[in-house]
Amino acid sequence: MAPIDLLIGRPTPRLQAADKLAVASQKVLLKPEKSDWALTYGPDHGEDDIRDHVGAWLTQKYKSASSPITRDRVIITNGASGALIAILQKFTDPLYTRRMFLVEPTYFLALQSFLDAGLGPKMQGVPEDDEGIDLEFLQARIDEEERKHADNTPGVDVPSTKLESHGYRKLYKYALYVVPTLSNPSGKTMSLHHRKALVELARKYDILLIADDVYDFLAWPADDTIPHKDLELPPRLIDIDRQTPGISEWGNTVSNGSFSKLAAPGLRAGWCEAAPNFIYDLSTTGATHSGGCQSQYTSYLLDDMLVSGVLEDHVQNTLIPIYRKRYNALVDAIKTYLYPLGIKISTGNPYEIRAKDDKDSDVRTQLAGGFFLYIDYPYDEAFPTAADVIRIGRDEFSLRIASGELFTVKGDPESLKRAHVTFNRGTRLCWAWNEEQVLVEAIQRLAKTIERAKE
Ligand SMILES: Cc1ncc(COP(=O)(O)O)c(C=O)c1O
């Protein structure tokens, strides 16, 4: 039996735009007026032209952006992971920052970055609810922390060692990490109500909202009869922060974007959008200070693809149609083989969005997309444990299944306890890596695994 990996969350190699990148490389490398700059140390925030092009592209993609996204709001990064580390280094401090909130289930590979930033003891999971984040839970944890500071509890107010004179002009009291749209791992999209409420809380308590917006452009209608073109995207947290009167000079949000999901992960390139002050300070972290833009060469390739329309064509006409077919095949297989076992797709409150039907009329539809969906096992004593499902899947059906425990917030001992009664009773499924027929086979094997575990 050929092994099937349901944990892996990256694109199939054939989708990595190698041919298009080869053309872009030729165009960049064979022209000295481009290659001279592409191959040397770049400006800390990336080339101004490239920032302009990314800003214009984002303005066009996010209809909710209140005004054009200008270059001073954009920095070219070495991908969302590298940017996350830089954001934490520059704007948080393990002494000053009171809590580092992470929406759980969380993108597990990001966890190490928070630990590396020294925030381990401050890490606090915040459960998702049906609208994307449990705001009451978050408020209660903030209140708890604020009380300690109001009471002058010994040891809580520790002076920061990140001094303004050393380039730390702004440290946030709190930070919160979230994937608001088409989340990894849950697949949920946060409601508009919760987005607005989160921005309001962020302003009130000096929270930096770090939004990994990496799946936004891989969006399509859940209803397969509606075309994916002209789909309106949910407003990002940063769009809401910008549109709501009273934004501070630093803002309370940063949108972390990536070309990994749109072209190829190995390029190590992305962008951040935030208030100009924030972007300027982000460009002054150690690695850029010494080495300049962290993806100087690959940002030239991506810029060529962006300006020529090749990138958008790849996303709209290659990636989305293929991922959409796989998603539909996966959902159908789940309904056929897993629903009879009491398993359900964990949707939360589906996000409704405006799209155009095939006659170009406005319609409302549910949003789907990204790389992942989550399935929930039934709350039934007789249902096998997640650990048994993983073991039997691996040993008897050559199936690698993600453990829900993976998505808990390390550093927060309560996170695992919460997981045991929620997302550890289920697993994440991904359609980015496996082809349609492999996904169907995987779900058939998962159903057999569960039947076997019940014996
Ligand atoms: C939510 C999330 N953020 C960040 C990343 C990594 O992005 P990058 O390749 O740009 O570092 C991933 C990749 O799986 C992801 O799912």
169-206 confidence digits (pLDDT tens): 999 999 999 999 999 999 999 999 999 999 999 999 99
Residue 404 has what pLDDT?
A: 95
| Nearest in space to 292 (alpha carbons), one of 86, 10, 42 | 42
> In a mutational test of the pocket of ligand 1, which residue from 8, 258, 433 has the highest number of ligand atoms less than 8 Å from its CB?
258
Match 């946060």 to its residue by tokens.
Answer: 190
Rounded to the nearest angstrom, the distance between the alpha carbon of 214 and the centre of ligand 1 is 7
Is residue 344 within 8 Å of residue 379, measured between CB atoms?
no
| Nearest in space to 18 (alpha carbons), one of 310, 270, 431, 257 | 310
> In a mutational test of the pocket of ligand 1, which residue from 212, 254, 433 has the highest number of ligand atoms less than 8 Å from its CB?
212
pLDDT digits over 164-178, tens only?
A: 999 999 999 999 999
Q: How far apart are CA 274 and CA 264, in angstroms?
A: 24
Residue 156 has what pLDDT?
A: 83
- Ligand 1 interacting residues, C-beta cut-off 6 A: 9, 79-81, 107, 179, 184, 212, 214, 258, 260, 265, 270
Domains of the chain by range and CATH?
4-13+312-454 (3.90.1150.10), 19-309 (3.40.640.10)
Question: What is the pTM (predicted TM-score) of this model?
Answer: 0.97
Q: Indicate the pLDDT class of residue 66, thresholds 50, 70 and 90.
A: confident
DSSP state of 234: P
